[in-house]
Structure 1
């Protein structure tokens, strides 16, 4: 009997002290959880959505002329995501390409105007491509003066290696 009473008393004491210890831990866990919730709420307020600002329209342009050609670019934006612009590339031999574009709620659209040899008027991928280049043999004949510009023509290949 006495050892059973001693064992029951020890078990009862252990359970009471365990309950006290875990009550303290549970209380601390609640305090930690409450503190973390406050930190998260404060962070959400601090890093919330930005204030709404009025759209800021913009515009820019530049022109660069070099001995062997040049390029220019101009663009305007309304501050709400709608953009229009144009850029042009020119070579000293008269070749040029101008791309006019619009980007807005309907997507990106471009038109290319060029006189570059080997191009023709087509509309690939919803891009209007306007070519004023001569087609076929006429292009080769018209471009002959520029063919070997800047150096001697290559020597013929005789197949000997």
Structure 2
């Protein structure tokens, strides 16, 4: 299954809302942004189970930059959708929402925005909302994925 994750506030901290993955000395020089603690193990666990991990963000970072953030942490991604791509697709499909994962082939979406939860109900897609202070977030994601698989 194809699962999308948001970036800012969920996997990348705005400030210091949550602990981040440790970096080796070499990676400290090449990694542009730090990932939330647990991201690497969760992504590998999901991928090992046959899931494809994608990013769906309203950020205007380029697809290449987003892929680099994960590659320097040893992770590969499936589809990456940034804000520009999303706006174009939503406009073409006349969807009045900040995100609509089914338009990009994602079966469900993980985000930190309560607004996305409301959009999921309105536009009928599956979403799980994770608070920045949720220390058990990886297990919550895992259980959600298992329940909808």
TM-score by length of 2: 0.19
TM-score by length of 1: 0.18
More helix by share: 2
Higher relative contact order (CA 8 A, sep 6+): 2
